[in-house]
Amino acid sequence: MEHDILSTTGRIFDIQRYSIHDGPGIRTIVFLKGCALRCRWCCNPESQRFEVENMFFAGKDETMGYDVTVGEVLQSVMKDMFFYRRSGGGLTLSGGEAMLQPDFAVDLLKACHAEGINTCIETTAIAKWEVIERFLENLDFVYMDIKHMNNEKHREFTGQPNTKIIEHAIRIAASGAKLTMRTPVIPGFNDTVEEISDIAKFVKMLPGSPHLHLLPYHRLGEDKYKGLNRDYFYAGVPPMDMKHMQPLLKAAQREGVECQIGG
Ligand code: SF4
């Protein structure tokens, strides 16, 4: 019997419309639940665990995580066809890490393509290569994080080594995917000229020389940690200011990479 992709189920925690920072044009972002990393600065801590959980936020208890079919998500995504057509936008998968729910995520990408909606993912690409290939066949744009070139520091601040991430960035770039690399710039983690230069050197040598987006640290997720009864490593640390970002931007540009601040 033929597989009905619209009935494949997955677990998400949010759908956001009218985004202009997560891929080209005006986009709908579908946030999938579950992540392999535990970044100390994560602004979506409710994304990290796959389990459904309660979060007290903005004065009320909210349930984070619900199960949906591809067909249900597609209905939401299709509400903004007009904007996608006018702006070159479409669907972006985010999280969490969408590659941890490959059956649901890939079927959603296929369903969007069947409706003429372009597709993008925000990912760290920590998955088996066979899984990543399934995604690449159904993606128009890939936004991939590269957080640090030093393996030990990467492990200390995210809970995972960077070896697979680096290997997969090279393979994704070599596949011909339309790849953009992104680096969240985090105080005390990767916010020096040397650290950003190292990342820019790596990005410059990738096949196709992708662009690099430097995303300044912000603390918009801080209240969510309280709402989840978890400690926030960066409690009280102010957002990254532009005076600090400018030399980092210049350092990346000196390495010959096309770079900008923000997504
Ligand atoms: S990879 Fe993204 S979603 Fe996962 S923990 Fe890090 S910042 Fe959060």
* Cβ of residue 45 lying under 6 Å from some atom of ligand 1: no
User: Stretch 25-34: mean pLDDT, rounded?
Assistant: 98
Q: Please state, in angstroms and rounded to a whole number, the distance separating the CA atoms of residues 136 and 133.
A: 5
Query: What are the distances in angstroms from CA 98 to CA 1, 125, 200, 205, 218?
Result: 27, 9, 25, 26, 23
Q: Which residues contact 154 (CB under 8 A, 6 or more apart)?
A: 147, 148, 160, 161, 162, 165
Report yes or no on whether pTM surpasses 0.75.
Answer: yes
Bridge partners of residue 143, in order along the sequence: 122, 180
Alpha-carbon dihedral of residues 160, 35, 57, 14, nearest 10 degrees?
Answer: 150
Mutation probe of ligand 1 site: the residue of 99, 143, 158 with most atoms within 8 A of C-beta: 158
pLDDT in tens, 203-246: 999 999 999 999 999 998 999 999 999 999 999 999 999 999 99
Q: Which helix (H) or strand (E) holds 260?
A: strand 259-261
Residue 3 pLDDT class (50, 70, 90 cuts):
confident
Q: Which fold has domain 5-33+68-221+233-261?
A: TIM Barrel (3.20.20)
* Cβ of residue 39 lying under 6 Å from some atom of ligand 1: yes
Q: Please state, in angstroms and rounded to a whole number, the distance separating the CA atoms of residues 96 and 5.
A: 22
Kindly give the number of the ligand 1 atom that is closest to the alpha carbon of 38.
5
pLDDT in tens, 205-216: 999 999 999 999
One-letter amino acid at 234 equals Y
pLDDT in tens, 101-145: 999 999 999 999 999 999 999 999 999 999 999 999 999 999 999
Q: Please state, in angstroms and rounded to a whole number, the distance separating the CA atoms of residues 61 and 54.
A: 7
CB of 101 within 8 A of CB of 9? no
CB of 208 within 8 A of CB of 197? no
How many whole angstroms from 96 Cα to the centroid of ligand 1? 6
Kindly give the number of the ligand 1 atom that is closest to the alpha carbon of 184.
7
CA-nearest residue, atom 7 of ligand 1: 42
* Cβ of residue 94 lying under 6 Å from some atom of ligand 1: no
* Cβ of residue 48 lying under 6 Å from some atom of ligand 1: yes
Domain boundaries, the chain: 5-33+68-221+233-261
* Cβ of residue 98 lying under 6 Å from some atom of ligand 1: no
* Cβ of residue 160 lying under 6 Å from some atom of ligand 1: no
Q: What pLDDT does 1 receive?
A: 63
